[in-house]
Amino acid sequence: MTIDPDATDHGEVARPHDSRRDPAAVRTGLQRWLAGRVPDPVVGDVHIPESNGMSSETLLFDARWDGADHRLVARVAPVDSAVPVFPRYDLDAQARVMRAVADTTAVPVPHVHWSETDPSALGSPFLVMSRIDGLVPPDVMPYNFGSWVSDATDEQRATMQATAVDVLAQIHTVDPAAAGLDTPPTAGDAIRAHIAAQRGYYEWTTRTGPRSPLIERAFTWLDEHAPDDPNPAVLCWGDARIGNILFDDFRPAGVLDWELATAGAREMDLAWMIFLHRFFEDIATTAGLPGLPGFLRRDDLTDAYALRSGHAPEHLDFHTCYAAVQHAIIMLRIATRAVHYGQSEQPDDPDSMIMHRATLEAMLDGTYWKAPT
């Protein structure tokens, strides 16, 4: 499935109008809810950022209590009628992970003020966090198509790359159990458990959408190639990409979006960062654009991570392919969602709903990494 950048309201694709909450109603709900937690609060206007994602809804608001102003963010789980991207949104678990990372590392995680599991205030559970200023590498259009990232110097991008790797290395020092996560005995056990969970996610997605022969072929490949990694499982960010980092002077000011956090192998995060950049680079190449081929290269990230963490990454062909499979399931779900909202028509070939179909096919065939890394 291809989305025409010149004919598409990308904000509508990410967050269809019918699935968005009314800011005035949210303000009223937050005002009442906050009054039960702090004395005499005043909630200012609520607004939705243009870069609101496709998963949890992000709402920005200001509030005042105890004579002080607070710039805040509410992350709200979607309701079922919004055709959510994922089957489950455990915001309370996200809060535990973020607090564990903040307590034990120097990773700049937003301060979590509250985690509300009762849906009565806003219609869904939500988190309230401090707001952090910074620049985010854009997804639409991708940062390598022309943005402050592509306009930066090589030295500035090198700073971004090195500090992003440092974020991963720090996250991987956090005990997953301390973050409230079930922790398999080894990274290999965690990988297999994660693949099983992804298979469950795929089955959930295809209850209301088409099945993908390519993804099903990929699961067979994963079962045959999953490494028996004896290293301890670590805390994985889960959505480890520069598009989830707020940068200030090309250094991380805020590390966001923890809904995919899990216990796993270090390489799962590293490969996700590698693949998401390759995803954008492959699109740029297809569009005849120069992209950023010298940025976030696999070998450079691998060497930097080994130097920073003392762990030499292994099995990256497998892990990068696994990242492509996970992304394929997400894209299948998003494309199914677009059909539901009338933004596109169901194609005859379900695999065409996966934008990086050719990349995944090449990875499964063992030919993808013959291209420069």
Burial state string for 192-210 with b = 16 or more CB within 10 A and e = fewer than 16: bbbbeebbebbeebbeebb
Q: In what order do the strands lie in the sheet with 126-130?
A: 42-47, 57-65, 68-76, 126-130, 112-116
Any idea which residues carry the catalytic annotation?
Answer: 239
Q: What is the pLDDT of residue 7?
A: 37
| 373 residues of the chain, pLDDT tens digit each | 333 434 344 444 444 545 467 888 999 999 999 999 999 999 998 988 876 556 789 999 999 999 999 999 999 999 887 889 999 999 999 999 999 999 999 999 999 999 999 999 999 999 999 999 999 999 999 999 999 999 999 999 999 999 999 999 999 999 999 999 999 999 999 999 999 999 999 999 999 899 999 999 999 999 999 999 999 999 999 999 999 999 999 999 999 999 999 999 999 999 999 999 999 999 999 999 999 999 999 999 999 999 999 999 999 999 999 999 999 999 999 999 999 888 889 999 999 999 999 999 999 999 998 755 4
Q: What is the pLDDT of residue 371?
A: 55
* pTM of the shown model: 0.92
Evaluate whether 312 touches 303 at the Cβ level (below 8 Å): no
Q: How far apart are CA 62 and CA 70, in angstroms?
A: 6
Helix (H, G, I), strand (E, B) or coil at 68: strand
Q: What is the pLDDT of residue 237?
A: 98
Burial state string for 98-117 with b = 16 or more CB within 10 A and e = fewer than 16: bbbbbebbebbbbebbebbe
Task: Look up residue 331 and give its two tokens.
Answer: 């894209």
Task: Look up residue 202 and give its two tokens.
Answer: 């795929």
Q: What is the pLDDT of residue 340?
A: 87
Which single residue is written with the structure tokens 């500090």?
A: 163
Helix (H, G, I), strand (E, B) or coil at 261: coil
Residue 315 dihedral angles phi and psi, to the nearest 5°:
55, 35
What is the crossing angle of helices 187-205 and 316-340, to 10°? 20
Helix (H, G, I), strand (E, B) or coil at 358: helix
Q: How far apart are CA 62 and CA 334, in angstroms?
A: 31
- Within the chain, strands assigned E span 42-47, 57-65, 68-76, 112-116, 126-130, 234-236, 245-248, 251-255, 262-264
What is the crossing angle of helices 357-365 and 266-286, to 10°? 120
Q: How do the residues of the chain divide into helix, strand and coil, expressed in percent and rounded to 5?
A: 45, 15, 40
Q: How far apart are CA 234 and CA 230, in angstroms?
A: 12
322 class by beta-carbon count within 10 Å (0-12 exposed, 13-18 middle, 19+ buried):
buried
Q: How far apart are CA 11 and CA 259, in angstroms?
A: 21
